[in-house]
Amino acid sequence: MAAKIAKKFDAAASDAAAEATRWLAHLGAERRMSPKTVEAYERDLRQFLCFLTEHLGGAPGLKELARLTPADVRAFMAARRAVGASSRSLMRSLAGLRSFGRFLERGGKGKVGALTAVRAPKVPKTLPKPLAVSAARRIADTDLRAGEEREPWILARDAAVLALLYGSGLRISEALGLKRGDVPEPGHGDAVTVTGKGNKQRMVPLLPQVTQAIADYVVQCPFDLPAEGALFLGAKGGPLSPRIVQLAMERLRGALGLPDSATPHALRHSFATHLLARGGDLRAIQELLGHASLSTTQIYTAVDTDRLLDVYKSAHPRA
């Protein structure tokens, strides 16, 4: 496996390639980053090393990395921008390269100071777009899709997944990662433990309506659902794809007259925004969402402020 990864860094000298391989293993095993994040960081570093090979006139080693200047890093970012990389992609790329630089420094392999001397590109902040409470409540209503030529158990399955996303604030990956034995029967529990980013586990509440929606799906599902098997299955009995959930939400958008911003992830935004509007504590919402930093959760305060201003403007006599 190590040899396979090292081939991806054949644009670097052997010492740099070896450290890159060790860094990726560190991200996955010790930092517990998701495979997709590790893959993205690997791709960013590979692009950087390939650029440096051409930019410097030879495969860079640890000594060459330590001698880099901010101008070299800016040249790399300009080259990525020229092929269409967005500010968000460049920001992630720089974050990954800095992580590699810190790994080298901690291991006594040199310091790549140029990476920290360059500012990350500014990314415009976009506020989450939650659904209205009335629309969010109807998302799990199977009658909305009664006219579709789909088996009742599939409609019940989609309703159960969407109810989980809104009722418990889950990411799609977290909902689809649940095992049958993770979810209690109606009346026998009001919480479930989910595995989020970085394999971190947290406990989230299960509303009675959500537990019942899951139970309705389980009763109708034509496939065996062993305790250690996936809870949500596709039409052929395999694990349910996130794309199927997205398509179900697209159909509901038409039925409810919702905008394109009403995605499955918008249900998670709606969960947080509606809790905050009802007086929910920001720290508690942070824990429920599984955010590592409170600053990530604080974006919902801006959403709620916007909502309050809209109410003020529409209701105040002098507005």
Name the strand (E) or helix (H) holding 98. Answer: helix 87-106
* End-to-end Cα spacing for the chain: 65
Output helix, strand, coil percentages for the chain, rounded to the nearest 5.
60, 5, 35
Three-point CA angle 93, 94, 97, nearest 5°: 90
The one catalytic residue among 80, 92, 157, 268:
268
The one catalytic residue among 197, 202, 251, 307:
197
Of 43, 20, 161, 158, the closest CA to residue 100 belongs to 20
Of 272, 12, 280, the closest CA to residue 131 belongs to 272
Name the strand (E) or helix (H) holding 47. Answer: helix 35-56
The tokens for 83 are 């092929």
Dihedrals φ, ψ of 230, to 5°? -60, 140
Pairwise CA distance, residues 197 & 205, whole Å: 18
Q: Identity (one letter) of the amino acid at 287?
A: E
268 is catalytic: yes
171 is catalytic: yes
Of 102, 133, 122, the closest CA to residue 27 belongs to 102
Pairing type for strands 201-205 and 191-195 reads antiparallel
316 is catalytic: no
Pairwise CA distance, residues 318 & 312, whole Å: 10
Pairwise CA distance, residues 128 & 118, whole Å: 29
Pairwise CA distance, residues 142 & 156, whole Å: 7
274 is catalytic: no
| Rg of the Cα atoms in the chain | 24
The one catalytic residue among 98, 102, 291, 307:
291
The one catalytic residue among 80, 92, 157, 171:
171
- By annotation, the residues acting in catalysis are 171, 197, 265, 268, 291, 300
